[in-house]
Amino acid sequence: MPYSISAQQTGGPEVLIPHEINIAEPSDDEVLIQHTAIGLNFIDTYHRTGLYPVETKPFTPGLEAAGIIKKTGRNVSRFKEGDRIGYCAGPIGAYATHRNIAADKIIALPDNITGEIAAASMLKGMTAEYLIRRTYEVQPGQTVLFHAISGGVGAIACQWLKHIGATIIGTAGSTEKAEMAKNNGCDHVIRYDQDDFVEAVQDITHGTGVPVVYDSVGKDTFEGSINCLSPRGMMVSFGNASGPVPAIEPLLLTQKGSLYITRPSLMAYTATYEEYAASAAALFDVIASGAVKIHIGQTYALKDAAKAHADLEARKTSGSSLLMP
Ligand SMILES: NC(=O)c1ccc[n+]([C@@H]2O[C@H](COP(=O)([O-])OP(=O)(O)OC[C@H]3O[C@@H](n4cnc5c(N)ncnc54)[C@H](OP(=O)(O)O)[C@@H]3O)[C@@H](O)[C@H]2O)c1
């Protein structure tokens, strides 16, 4: 029986409950997808808690999945029944065995990309793509700091940065994650749960700091990250895993050496279908070439989404996590 994981209201992981659903006909511009794998992302927890407000309640979280097209709406010409597709775009609703979604939100999967790899990589890998190639275009030989280097986005970004030829300083919260980072090509791994990462970065860079910091941890690391930047460096604050970053005074940026700060989102960097498809193609290329391997660290049954959220928030996961319908 088709079902979704939906929440009547925002709250802890326990609000995520399976509910049977009726499958509606796709509208003219939509396709009906039977999901084969669904991606778990930290943003799903922000929707669940209400940190990022959702428009309606009850709501079904999830922005990333892969599957097979079962039906197409009247106006859909780019896709047909039976096509294998993936997506990482709103609106939320991916935590379901089936869903209707607009055809301009989906990407045809190349033969060498399985549904599981697509669902484990599209949102995280396309985020890595825009962060290191477009928000701040990392050059070969540059040294960068990337926090949570063995998380979902981090593990992909680490390998991609290595492929570009950067020197990577990464932070990790456990022995296993530090080991994984080394295996992914991270040059300097800092155990930021034990050591002062600002001192470590200053030691590694002989006091010069780094030209860019990618910080998705947020509240706990933001201030330290600013102190790791060289003059005119770029602070890329792209997440809130430990909580949202408090307001800052622009004067701080002057005092720390004419810094730049940006708070980007994947949605803004994939706003047109051309950008969305180009980002996916770049990701699928680095996966196909072997430069980036997708590490699926955990797989949960879709009905156990609450457990998956609890593990993600407790820092128990590494690499990507899948929910299997
Ligand atoms: N702006 C965008 O476009 C965009 C897109 C995708 C993701 N993101 C952000 O990127 C980050 C990574 O997303 P993801 O889905 O790949 O998650 P993830 O990295 O797999 O999980 C988050 C990681 O953050 C670290 N962390 C540090 N302090 C934490 C705390 N207090 N609570 C929980 N985790 C903590 C943990 O790694 P350690 O144990 O190693 O510290 C944890 O595994 C999230 O902040 C997400 O919101 C932003």
Rounded Cα distance between 27 and 73, Å, is 5
The verdict on the CB of residue 242 being under 6 Å from ligand 1 is yes
What is the residue extent of each domain of the chain? Answer: 3-121+294-324, 140-263
Amino acid, single-letter form, for residue 105: K
Ligand 1 pocket: which of 43, 159, 269, 270 to mutate (most atoms within 8 A of CB): 43
The verdict on the CB of residue 292 being under 6 Å from ligand 1 is no
16-48 tens-digit pLDDT:
999 999 999 999 999 999 999 999 999 999 999
Ligand 1 pocket: which of 38, 42, 156, 222 to mutate (most atoms within 8 A of CB): 42
Nearest atom in ligand 1 to 42's CA: 15
Tell me what pLDDT residue 24 has.
Answer: 92
Tell me what pLDDT residue 81 has.
Answer: 98
CA 233 to chain centre: 23
CATH architecture of 140-263: 3-Layer(aba) Sandwich (3.40)
Nearest-CA residue for atom 43 of ligand 1: 315
Ligand 1 pocket: which of 48, 179, 217, 220 to mutate (most atoms within 8 A of CB): 217
101-140 tens-digit pLDDT:
999 999 999 999 999 999 999 999 999 999 999 999 999 9
Which pair of tokens denotes residue 25?
């006909």
Half-sphere exposure of 93 (CA within 13 A, CB side): 16
49-74 tens-digit pLDDT:
999 999 899 999 999 999 999 999 99
Tell me what pLDDT residue 297 has.
Answer: 98
Confidence of residue 249 (pLDDT cuts 50, 70, 90): very high
Tell me what pLDDT residue 30 has.
Answer: 98
What is the per-residue DSSP string for 18-81? Answer: EEE-PPPPP-TTEEEEEEEEEEE-HHHHHHHHTSS--SSSSB----EEEEEEEEE-TT--S--T
Rounded Cα distance between 152 and 154, Å, is 6
Single out the residue of 61, 55, 13, 51 nearest to residue 242, CA to CA: 51
Average pLDDT, the chain: 98
Q: How many residues does the chain have?
A: 325
Select from 3.90.180.10, 2.40.50.140, 3.90.1260.10, 3.10.129.10 the CATH code of 3-121+294-324: 3.90.180.10
Tell me what pLDDT residue 171 has.
Answer: 98
Nearest atom in ligand 1 to 124's CA: 6
12: how many CB neighbours lie within 10 A of its CB?
Answer: 13
pTM summary value: 0.98
Percent of the chain with pLDDT over 90: 99
163-218 tens-digit pLDDT:
999 999 999 999 999 999 999 999 999 999 999 999 999 999 999 999 999 999 99
Rounded Cα distance between 261 and 249, Å, is 12
251-291 tens-digit pLDDT:
999 999 999 999 999 999 999 999 999 999 999 999 999 99
